[in-house]
């Protein structure tokens, strides 16, 4: 069976597989987002009680937290593919790392954007130099740096390898970003964000947050595979199988 | 091993001393940037004392980045770098020697000039000492991380701008703790040792990994 898996390391055989998977992931995206957002909007308590009662606007959490999770996770995934590419010298892994970067950058931007809109009513400001906000901004710069370095180098092979190395170096920042909110000793880091602790979240809120996260995950799969297919076509344009594909007009 | 290190270090230093303007440009860039801030934000003593630490560090970041472009460029153009990659000596050692030379020429002068800047910003004697200690620990980290970026962008069009985009985000922790140390030294009862210890930790980590990463980057850029 092992050889069966390696079969898909070749762009020519992965291309049709990706084509078959994309609709599945899009359907899952739709289902998860609909369920998650429906639950988040209609089945959760109206406001968080206690001394810091938040009104309806706390529902931004259903987009904000999942996109922040995805932004960090996708960077790790990107580094993973980049490292596999550097070690095993496989073309497809570099293409995968390349396809992940824009989706990661979009989620980082989304997390910052929704955070600003949430910050305005609850903290009275769009932006503050909170450790979490700042490190998320750095993450955004790191995605931009990866994309910029890759597009600045004309030779694809060098671009792949250089950008992969940059991504791996940048991995040193991910623990900083992660622990900037889950600081071991809260007295040591002044932050506006509260500690995140999954066990303290109300069940309905947690359910819809996880559902949206899963939906975002599926969305990432779908968009990454779509981008990957176009990268494969661009890079393998000289190969016979691509030429045949074009002649047949086959979109599978 | 050590002989190779010395050999490259002395060669780079000699080359730089033959063309002194390169070194002096960086230093004067630092001094001018630092002098611009009081003209921009006003010369009140209190404002300057608050701004001082941050300004010194931002200027040091920019100055060290300005010089990075030249770290490998000249050797790359005349083919020396290719020969270095081909030698039997470990490339990371050669790279470390080049980075050391680069720091001696651009980082160390910033440490030595710090008291002058401290006077411009009315920093106390204690704060000046801490500034120098923080710069002494922090500027080698800047050179080490920067070398990775310089190796990655070797020979690219618009490499300088790209270099700043890649490297500045990675400089941020050094900036935060470096400026933090100086700010903390101005507060009564505040302990600056944690900041300096963290900068030292960054230095050790960078010394361990950066030469390996830059030599890997050089191999990618040259092949």
* B115-170 residue pLDDT tens: 888 888 888 888 888 889 999 999 999 999 999 999 999 888 777 888 888 998 88
- pLDDT exceeds cutoff 50 at A1: no
- pLDDT exceeds cutoff 60 at B185: yes
pLDDT (0 to 100) of residue A187: 53
Least confident of A187-201, A223-237, B38-52, B183-197: A187-201
Return the SS3 of B124.
Answer: coil
- Nearest by CB: B221 against A144, A152, A162: A162
Does the predicted model carry a pTM greater than 0.90? no
- A147-157 confidence digits (pLDDT tens): 999 998 888 88
Return the SS3 of A48.
Answer: strand
What is the average pLDDT across B79-105?
89
Least confident of A56-60, A91-95, A208-212, A247-251: A247-251
Is the C-alpha dihedral spanning B45, B50, B53, B58 positive or negative? negative
Which has the closest alpha carbon to A241: A14, A22, A6? A14
Q: Are the beta carbons of A4 and A14 closer than 8 angstroms?
A: no
Q: Where does the pLDDT of residue A98 fall: very low under 50, low under 70, confident under 90, or very high at 90 and above?
A: very high
Tokens of B215: 């030599």
Q: What is the C-alpha R_g of chain A?
A: 21
Report the share of chain B in percent with pLDDT over 70: 99
Question: How distant is the Cα of A167 from the closest Cα of chain B, in angstroms?
Answer: 10
Question: How distant is the Cα of B102 from the closest Cα of chain A, in angstroms?
Answer: 21
Whole-angstrom distance, CA of residue A7 vs CA of residue A16: 12
Residues of A with CB under 8 A from a CB of B: 134, 138, 141-142, 144-145, 148-149, 152-153, 158, 161-162, 165-166, 168-170, 172-173, 176
Nearest residue on chain A to B172, alpha-carbon basis:
A138
User: Which residue bears the tokens 């007009």?
Assistant: A249
Whole-angstrom distance, CA of residue B199 vs CA of residue B180: 11
Average pLDDT in chain B: 87
- Nearest by CB: B213 against A153, A158, A165: A165
Look at B162 and A152 and tell me if their CB atoms are within 8 Å: yes
pLDDT (0 to 100) of residue A197: 64
Return the SS3 of A54.
Answer: strand
């Amino acid at each position: 069976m092992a050889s069966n898996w390696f079969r898909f390391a070749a762009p020519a055989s992965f291309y049709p597989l990706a084509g078959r998977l994309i609709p599945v992931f899009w359907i899952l995206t739709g289902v998860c987002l609909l369920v998650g957002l429906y639950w988040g909007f209609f089945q959760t308590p109206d406001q968080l009680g206690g001394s810091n009662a938040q009104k309806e606007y706390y529902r931004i959490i259903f987009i904000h937290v999942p996109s922040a999770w995805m932004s960090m996770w996708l960077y790790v995934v990107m580094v993973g593919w980049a490292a596999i590419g550097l070690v095993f010298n496989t073309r497809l892994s570099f293409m995968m790392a390349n396809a992940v970067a824009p989706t990661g950058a979009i989620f980082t931007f989304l997390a910052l954007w929704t955070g600003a809109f949430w910050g305005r009513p609850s903290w009275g400001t769009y932006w503050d130099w909170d450790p979490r906000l700042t490190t998320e901004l750095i993450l955004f710069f790191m995605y931009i740096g990866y994309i910029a370095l890759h597009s600045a180098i004309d030779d694809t092979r060098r671009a792949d390898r250089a950008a992969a190395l940059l991504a791996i170096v940048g991995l040193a920042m991910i623990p900083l970003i992660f622990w900037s909110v889950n600081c071991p000793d809260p007295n040591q880091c002044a932050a506006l964000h509260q500690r995140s602790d999954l066990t303290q979240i109300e069940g309905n809120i947690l359910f819809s947050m996880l559902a949206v996260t899963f939906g975002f995950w599926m969305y990432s799969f779908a968009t990454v595979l779509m981008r990957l297919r176009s990268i494969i076509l661009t890079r393998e344009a000289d190969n016979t199988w691509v030429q045949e594909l074009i002649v047949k007009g086959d979109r599978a | 091993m050590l002989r190779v290190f010395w050999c490259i270090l002395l060669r780079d230093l000699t080359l730089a001393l033959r063309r002194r303007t390169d070194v002096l440009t960086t230093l004067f860039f630092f001094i001018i940037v630092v002098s611009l801030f009081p003209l921009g934000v006003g010369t009140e003593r209190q404002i300057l004392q608050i701004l001082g630490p941050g300004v010194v560090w931002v200027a040091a970041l920019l100055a060290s980045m300005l010089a990075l472009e030249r770290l490998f460029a000249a050797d790359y153009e005349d083919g020396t770098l290719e020969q270095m990659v081909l030698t039997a000596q470990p490339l990371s050692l050669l790279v470390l020697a080049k980075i050391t030379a680069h720091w001696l020429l651009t980082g160390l002068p910033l440490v030595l000039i710090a008291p002058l800047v401290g006077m411009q910003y009315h920093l106390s004697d204690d704060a000046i000492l801490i500034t120098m200690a923080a710069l002494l620990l922090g500027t080698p980290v800047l050179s080490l991380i920067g070398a990775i970026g310089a190796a990655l962008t070797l020979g690219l069009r618009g490499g300088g701008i790209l270099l700043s985009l890649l490297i500045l985000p990675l400089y941020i922790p050094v900036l935060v703790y470096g400026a933090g140390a100086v700010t903390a030294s101005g507060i009564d009862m505040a302990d600056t040792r944690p900041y300096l210890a963290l900068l030292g930790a960054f230095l050790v980590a960078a010394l361990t990994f950066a030469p390996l990463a830059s030599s890997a980057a050089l191999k990618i850029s040259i092949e």
